[in-house]
Structure 1
């Protein structure tokens, strides 16, 4: 059976980029079909990524803040973690959002097909379920939103229950006494934050000389000082051998300055990056171009080289972030509907939901140096913030703004500290609006708040700061 329509838009993948594109297409009056391999909408982000990880990070950070109360003379005599209840609570959060997405798709009249899509031509798909043919589907336009998957290391025995990707880690199969995390990026450090608070002793290995390569070194140093008593971070370290034994995983590492050693771990979590999920689509066969890193090439309207096929989200390349994909999904839908819209953001914000959080946007200092921009840095330390002191988060907090010296316009910013991710949007908006230091410094911020550290940093740039010696 072949479903034919010359007005049909088919979206492949129901993650944030895909379902957003589908909802926007429907709202714009287009006949919309959404194809998803899994039973629930929401993709990796909702089901095994952003939402479950942030749920567990909320718990993690609450545990840490409860422990911090001891300095105020408040202590709790017992501390118990009911893993079964914790997992059920996390699942309930996911289920609420799964239901909301399904309900909105139904209300919008979107046809949801459960299966795998494979391109047969520029205007026709084959739908498979469990590798069995279901139907053909003709379309006028298609949007590829199949997301990404974890990179796997060939030398690890993934069949073992002691070797995890982030998906397995978020299901909390058990709490290892000693956990090795391979990869010092955002995902690895967020997982370290969760499992440390649950009681695991954490080692992190990375073969690079630094963590968070996208962040300025002064901010990273603050972060390293904050976590030095929590995690053992081993940089410039390679994994030489992994062997499963009865009581764990024997791992031989080679650390640049300390040499080789073998350590026994209860579990290994691999977090070395993600790659686009394109394998089963058949896009090469129909001529869709990909770049040398394996991502689909798109223009500013998210069109591939085939004019009626679009791509959004992780499959289009870095940064592989849900909020980028959401905005791309809207633009692709609007272009298909005939609007002259473009995906051309000044900035795409980034957040690591660690403890402390790190959030950055725009052109940071190391980027400004590479681009030969005449720039000025203004940094406000949270040790001078009344709200940070009152909230016991002043020691490892800082708000750093980067200005173009010639125009005085804000071009980037980095915040480290509690709720940094919630604070970052003001900086992104200021960059998008073309604000200069005076615009920000003359905007009255509520006191005492962490948000006022942004205006105070701008005052440093202006030379009008009174909260520090000018």
Structure 2
């Protein structure tokens, strides 16, 4: 990012150029507002640089290698040679292309971009510093905080980039280790574990709870766990990471159960993937009159507005769910509100994806949540083993599930664990947003043969009209 001195004043100050910040800046500039975007690291934030994009690039590459090695049942046999260094270089090229595109979009829309760290000095001004040197102050009419989040460190497990790695370090890890310990079986831990297992690394996952992907329904997480175990990943449930020490070959991890039983595991490196926390320590929020909640997030209303009327917060810094597409939507809403347009956040139809093998995607309510909300839900399900397209792909694990109101048949939610779940969920997110019914989706002709037919069949199953699976 080219260094540029900050202007003295601006209509809209955006702090952070991640998927929430750069989207907010562009949208505000499109409304003919004078916009200044301050970023201390790189365009695209965590998502483009050290999160969504590099991880999905590695997931794609390792999927290709794994599939090529396991197609004997199709009559295909191949000797696969993985050049890990070249793979990492390709991943970096993808990141560079996207971050460069964001820079061009910001400048092309007239956004003034400033390299530095912004710190509030009052409710209407910030001080910008670069490499510890003050660059000047900016007064603003409105501000949008979009500083994102970073990996959580466990006590005693300070990220050193050598023995103890964050998810960021793991995405830059070279050379490939023989053995890897992963602390945490959430979505980050499971995605990383799958990548390295498919590259032939001996992976052990330590999780203090009793299942992978806590928070997801067990029949969903069970599918992912089974596939992970088939890949050779070993799980140690009910164990918390206690401490570690270096060895001649890497690290020795000590764990402890609730009953006090202790175990130890050895590997070349240990990755800590136990969650993320908001980045707010450089902002001096009290100077702007803003307080965080008990978890460090900035509370906002349905227009992304903080307790200070002219200051907004979007993305991870504003709280769960920590999703790039949620950040972008909040950025659009905040910019529109500032421009005087009617806009509010709709959170019911925000899909969430986990890029494990197979993928998981959910949107809206589960059956239990629908019952708790006072609905009398009806549920439809389509197993992928009954999908013709899934059979032709050799990917028959998992299912698509639909939750609807039993009286009105309005679609309330969907959960799927299957190939390309992240692509299939959009239809159901749209259905929920439009308050579509089961009949609306069931009577829509879906292309054959496609995985998307499983959505149609699950919806029909909820109505007792499925053709390719038995009705409940």
TM-score range, shorter chain: over 0.9
Residue 292 of structure 2 is matched in structure 1 by 290
Q: Deviations over 1:298-318 (max 9, x none)?
A: 111111111111111101100
TM-score (norm 2): 0.95
Residue 185 of structure 1 is matched in structure 2 by 186
Residue 91 of structure 1 is matched in structure 2 by 92
Work out whether residues 358 and 421 of structure 1, in 8 Å CA contact, stay in contact via their aligned partners in 2. Answer: yes
Structure 1 residue runs without a partner (length 5+): none
Q: CA deviation at 1:407?
A: 1.9
- Rounded to whole Å, the distance in 2 between the matches of 1:157 and 1:319 is 25
Q: CA deviation at 1:213?
A: 2.8
- Rounded to whole Å, the distance in 1 between the matches of 2:219 and 2:84 is 37
Q: Deviations over 1:204-247 (max 9, x none)?
A: 11112222233222222222222222211222111233111121
Q: CA deviation at 1:160?
A: 5.6
Does 2:61 correspond to 1:59?
yes
Residue 49 of structure 1 is matched in structure 2 by 51
User: Counterparts of 1:296-307 in structure 2 under 5 Å?
Assistant: 296-307=298-309
Residue 357 of structure 1 is matched in structure 2 by 359
* Structure 1 segments (4+ residues) deviating >6 Å: none
Report how many aligned residue pairs link the two structures. 466
Residue 436 of structure 1 is matched in structure 2 by 437
- Rounded to whole Å, the distance in 2 between the matches of 1:185 and 1:45 is 17
- Rounded to whole Å, the distance in 2 between the matches of 1:234 and 1:87 is 29
* CA pair 156-334 structure 1, distance change in 2 beyond 3 A: same
- Rounded to whole Å, the distance in 2 between the matches of 1:468 and 1:183 is 36
- Rounded to whole Å, the distance in 2 between the matches of 1:204 and 1:384 is 32
Does 2:403 correspond to 1:389?
no
- Rounded to whole Å, the distance in 2 between the matches of 1:53 and 1:213 is 21
- Rounded to whole Å, the distance in 2 between the matches of 1:19 and 1:223 is 34
Q: Which moved more, 1:431-440 or 1:321-330?
A: 431-440
- Rounded to whole Å, the distance in 2 between the matches of 1:437 and 1:160 is 50
Residue 19 of structure 1 is matched in structure 2 by 22
Residue 225 of structure 2 is matched in structure 1 by 224
Residue 138 of structure 2 is matched in structure 1 by 137
Residue 114 of structure 2 is matched in structure 1 by 113
User: Counterparts of 1:266-281 in structure 2 under 5 Å?
Assistant: 266-281=268-283
Counterpart secondary structure, 1:171 = coil
Q: Of the candidates 13, 23, 26, which is equivalent to residue 10 of structure 1?
A: 13
Residue 310 of structure 2 is matched in structure 1 by 308
* CA pair 296-256 structure 1, distance change in 2 beyond 3 A: closer
Residue 151 of structure 2 is matched in structure 1 by 150
Work out whether residues 180 and 201 of structure 2, in 8 Å CA contact, stay in contact via their aligned partners in 1. Answer: yes
Residue 264 of structure 1 is matched in structure 2 by 266
Q: Which moved more, 1:297-306 or 1:233-242?
A: 233-242
Q: Of the candidates 366, 369, 372, which is equivalent to residue 367 of structure 1?
A: 369
- Rounded to whole Å, the distance in 2 between the matches of 1:177 and 1:255 is 27
Residue 459 of structure 1 is matched in structure 2 by 460
CA RMSD between the two structures: 1.7
Q: CA deviation at 1:64?
A: 2.1
Counterpart secondary structure, 1:252 = strand
Q: CA deviation at 1:319?
A: 0.2
Q: Deviations over 1:162-199 (max 9, x none)?
A: 21101111012221211110011111100011111111
* CA pair 12-247 structure 1, distance change in 2 beyond 3 A: same
